[in-house]
Amino acid sequence: MSTFEVKTYYFEDDGFIPNHPDWPVLFYEGVLAERSYQAEQIFNENNWLNSWRNGIFDYHHYHSNTHEVLGVISGFATVKIGGKSGQ
């Protein structure tokens, strides 16, 4: 069993994106590397449903009634988390 570093990022409400100061963004780099073919199955087993594939929005947005799980299983993604003043 592999051990992975979890990066934790906290963001506050920036006036547009109502980030929660107590609920961080968790970044697990490489966790699915050996099981990328099972990514959607793993998400579904954890009740992270309503999957979609091939692309993400290219503008800042948030979900007011849910959390989001993003998995990159092929290629790469550059994503700014936390709004325009995020990371």
Range list of β-strands (E), the chain: 6-9, 25-28
| pLDDT lower than 50: segments of the chain | none
Domain limits for position 9: 1-87
Per-residue pLDDT at 26: 93
Cα 33 to Cα 74: distance, rounded to the nearest angstrom: 9
Contacts of 14 (CB under 8 A, 6+ apart): 82, 83, 84, 85, 86
**Among 68, 87, 85, residue whose Cα is nearest residue 16:** 85
Cα 82 to Cα 87: distance, rounded to the nearest angstrom: 7
Q: How many domains does the chain have?
A: 1
Query: How is residue 19 written in tokens?
Result: 């980030």
Per-residue pLDDT at 69: 87
Per-residue pLDDT at 27: 92
Per-residue pLDDT at 85: 86
